[in-house]
Amino acid sequence: MKPWALFDWLFPPRCALCGRFLWGKEKQDQLCPACSGREKLKESWKMGKLPFVAGSVCVYPYEGSVRWGVHRFKFRGAARSGEIFGVLLAQRVRETGLLEQVDLVCYVPCHRKIKRKRGYEQAQKIARPLAEELGLPLEALLEKRRNTRPMYRLKAAQRRANVLGAFAVTPGKEALVRSRRVLVVDDVLTTGSTLSECARVLREAGAREVYGAAFARTFAKRPGEKTGKGV
């Protein structure tokens, strides 16, 4: 028996979104047929501009099995899903033409306390395979100085206040930012206040343009619907 066959037997691969067990060829896709057939967002990167952000792309609306998948990825340690999330997001960056606008990739960092607790930074888990897929350099350009309150409990104005001044350019990385076009990766885009604040900090440090890429995106709340848990 090959070592990875034993690994698969011990930890059978599951769909990165709905969590169902995968068989045969499905294992390569890391998604079950139902989830890989899910409808993706079709907006161009020029849509829905945020302050300091020149444009952004997302793969899926944050609902149904996408919501489940992101939740497991974020809170239940399914860090392996970051691989496929990053590859799908890279495809989206390429097909929208955003790739031509970008020089390097960074990600929305977690506070060190969260990183210690979770064992990884979720946005970095998506950004690494994305950068590899697109052949762009990945740099930890940002750090989180202050721990913020969970965003899902806050209204839009509170979200902006919550993240204001929470991020800074990593000491020693200033020269990498200057005159560059930076793509900031995150898992979920909600009001965009986190992305916007990261972009403000990067622009202040001299970045020429800042773009955003998130795996999923929430849309305005419909009556009777629960609020998204993204940032």
CB of 15 vs Zn ion, minimal distance in Å: 3
The site map against Zn ion for 103-122 (x = CB under 5 A) is --------------------
Question: For residues 10-69, which are near Zn ion according to CB under 5 A?
Answer: 15, 17-18, 32, 35
Strand partners for 183: 105, 211
φ/ψ (deg, to 5) at 123: -70, -30
Residue 20 or 94 with smaller CB distance to Zn ion: 20
Long-range contacts of 62-66 (CB under 8 A, 24+ apart): 62/188, 62/190, 62/216, 62/217, 62/218, 62/219, 62/228, 62/230, 64/38, 65/15, 65/17, 65/18, 65/34, 65/35, 65/38, 66/17, 66/38, 66/216
Residue 67 or 200 with smaller CB distance to Zn ion: 67
CB of 20 vs Zn ion, minimal distance in Å: 5
Residue 83 or 132 with smaller CB distance to Zn ion: 83
How many positions of this chain bind Zn ion (CB under 5 A)?
5
φ/ψ (deg, to 5) at 76: -120, 25
CB of 64 vs Zn ion, minimal distance in Å: 10
Q: Which residues here bind Zn ion, judged by CB under 5 A? A: 15, 17-18, 32, 35
